[in-house]
Structure 1
Amino acid sequence: MKIVVTGSIATDHLMHFKGRFAEQLLPDQLHQVSLSFLVDRLVIRRGGVAANIAFGMGVLGERPILLGAVGPDFDDYRAWLTKHGVDCESVQVFENLHTARFNCTTDDDMAQIASFYTGAMAEGRNISLQPTVDRLDGVDLVMIGAHDPEGMLRNTRECKEAGIPRAADFSQQIALMDGEQLRELAEGAAYLLTNDYEKNLFEQKTGWSESDVLDHVGIRVTTLGERGVEITGRDVERVHVPIAREVRKVDPTGVGDGFRAGFFAGLSWGLSLERAAQVGSMLATLVIETDGPQEYVVDRAEFVKRLGEAYGDTAASEVAEHLA
């Protein structure tokens, strides 16, 4: 499958707070909160939801097409992604802006407080999908991930006009968008992806009930943290896939992106929704075991072995046929 991945491309500044945010937040003082957390670790990693997803698909042997906006500081990052199987020909450079930057602090409970500098990502609204479609002589799916809201809407409209299937994945931008925008992004999507919190916020903002949503999208995928992932749809039986247990927890940044990479790689291989979600869950586990969203390595034998331990020998053998 020719899958275009749109969304943020960013540098991640990841820090660790030795303590619990919950112990520092006073419920009756949130209106005047003023806190500074002394962190004991800083690492700088490549990130951004679109780049993370494209990287994950690339290391699984796919050839995803990355579409997004970056600054002139992207050269090393481009080389990294290209080395790992990502088509970066549709990434546009804006010379007067820095590539977007994600600053995130994680506590001992794996809770996170973050801020995001948009930088070049704000130019996403000026990037058309059509030149990429023309270059590739058509595409099979466009993943519309979180970046500039106007850019997300533009890409959605282009997909609708061209009849290209799409996956709607608002992620962090759901907080900035109103009900009308969210309904437009979701309407007619082949896939709608959220985590559990975003699912509830989406329903609240759109005014759609859980059953209403399934009248507007093909398949709904909801990640549930340690409870795994749930998949529902108008014409599919409800599927629940538990997590693939990690051997250690290092950093949760990019775990959801890892799931999406594995899930859509699995679908590209022709696997069932359940099996694709198992691939996604296994890849997400590799992410949480690693310091940074693109620092993990997929060893084919080890990946298949751990997948079998989590989901059984049949799952392992089916995936082994496709894993590069």
Structure 2
Amino acid sequence: MRIAVAGSIATDHLFTFEGRFADSLLVEQLSKISLSFLASDLQVRRGGTGANIAFGMGVLGHRPLLVGAVGKDAGDYLSWLQEHGVDTQAVRLSEDKATARFTCTTDDDQAQLATFYPGAMAEAAEIDIAALGAFDLVVIAPDDPGAMLRHSASCRDRGVAFAADPSQQLAFMDGASIRGLVEGASYLFTNAYEAELVHDKTGWSADDVLDRVGVRVITHGADGIVISRKGEDDITVPVAPARQIAEPTGVGDAFRAGFLTATAWGLSLERAAQVGALLATHVVETVGTQEYAFTKADFLSRFTEAYGEAACADISTHIGTDH
């Protein structure tokens, strides 16, 4: 199964604030907000939703094609991705813009305040995904909004299956753009809050969404994952227990990576969500979105603990193999 992952490629600057944002927020003064938080730690990591998803798929043994745009400062980053199983030949190199940058501060409640600078990502809209060859599935992750809409339209026009993953871009997209991105998707990924944004901005009900997509996947943080299909019972999958909680950035991207890789292996939706959930747990246990590592034996051991021996038997022959 050949999968292209179209999405942002960025560096993450992750700050830690020892306190609670909520203690400094005055509801009656939000229109005049002016706050500064003293960070106790800074971690500079590789990131970007497209790159994070592709990385996770690579470490699981798949070889996705990453589609996006970077600046000339991204040479080492692209080498890193290549070393971890990602095909980067479709990444566009900007002549005059720096690689996108994500800056995020996390407090003691794991609440986050973030800013994103697009930089070279703005050129992703100039990439013609149809010219990159044939794919079984195209993942349209957060990126330049024009690129996201172009890729989804291209897939619909050519009858290519695609997964819509609007994520944080939902906050900046209007209803027409969201409808244009989601319509006809084989998979729609959101968290619970983003799911409500889809409803609010498009005017679609939950049933309306299921009339337009094949599979809807909603993550609910510690409460697990719910998978919905029209006319079918929902599938609910719990999270895989974490050994420690370090930093949540990139958890959703890792879930998508695991889910999509297991889908490429031909596994059920339940198994796909379980693989995604365990990969996501590896991210929450580390600082940075691509800093996790595991052995096959350890992954299978933890999978058995979380989901049972029968579930582990279904995935054991796939982990670490190239599909």
Normalised by the length of structure 2, the TM-score is 0.98
Say which of 278, 281, 292 aligns to 2:274. 278
The root-mean-square deviation of aligned C-alpha atoms, in Å, is 0.7
Quote the Cα distance in structure 1 between the aligned partners of 2:310 and 2:22. Answer: 42
Counterpart of 1:289? 285
TM superposition shift of 1:172:
0.7
The alignment partner of 1:30 has SS state of helix
- Retained in 1: the 8 A contact 2:106–2:113? yes
**Runs of at least 4 residues of structure 1 off by over 6 A?**
none
Counterpart of 1:109? 109
Deviations 1:113-135 (A, max 9, x none): 000000000111111102212xx
TM superposition shift of 1:237:
2.7
Counterpart of 1:80? 80
TM superposition shift of 1:236:
3.7
- Retained in 1: the 8 A contact 2:184–2:213? yes
The 5-angstrom pairing of residues 117-196 of structure 1 reads 117-133=117-133, 138-196=134-192
Deviations 1:8-45 (A, max 9, x none): 10000001000011111111110101000000000100
Quote the Cα distance in structure 2 between the aligned partners of 1:217 and 1:183. Answer: 11
Counterpart of 1:220? 216
Which runs of 5 or more residues in structure 2 are unaligned? Answer: none
Quote the Cα distance in structure 1 between the aligned partners of 2:294 and 2:184. Answer: 34
Deviations 1:72-112 (A, max 9, x none): 01110011000000000000100200000000000011100
Normalised by the length of structure 1, the TM-score is 0.98
Letter of the structure 1 residue corresponding to residue 238 of structure 2 = P
The 5-angstrom pairing of residues 8-23 of structure 1 reads 8-23=8-23
- Retained in 2: the 8 A contact 1:60–1:298? no
Quote the Cα distance in structure 1 between the aligned partners of 2:272 and 2:30. Answer: 42
1:198 aligns with 2:171: no
Quote the Cα distance in structure 2 between the aligned partners of 1:30 and 1:245. Answer: 36
Which runs of 5 or more residues in structure 1 are unaligned? Answer: none
Identical-pair percentage: 55
TM superposition shift of 1:298:
2.5
Quote the Cα distance in structure 1 between the aligned partners of 2:268 and 2:156. Answer: 25
The alignment partner of 2:314 has SS state of helix
The alignment partner of 1:88 has SS state of coil
Deviations 1:248-288 (A, max 9, x none): 10000000000000000110111100001000000000000
TM superposition shift of 1:307:
0.6
Say which of 263, 267, 287 aligns to 2:263. 267
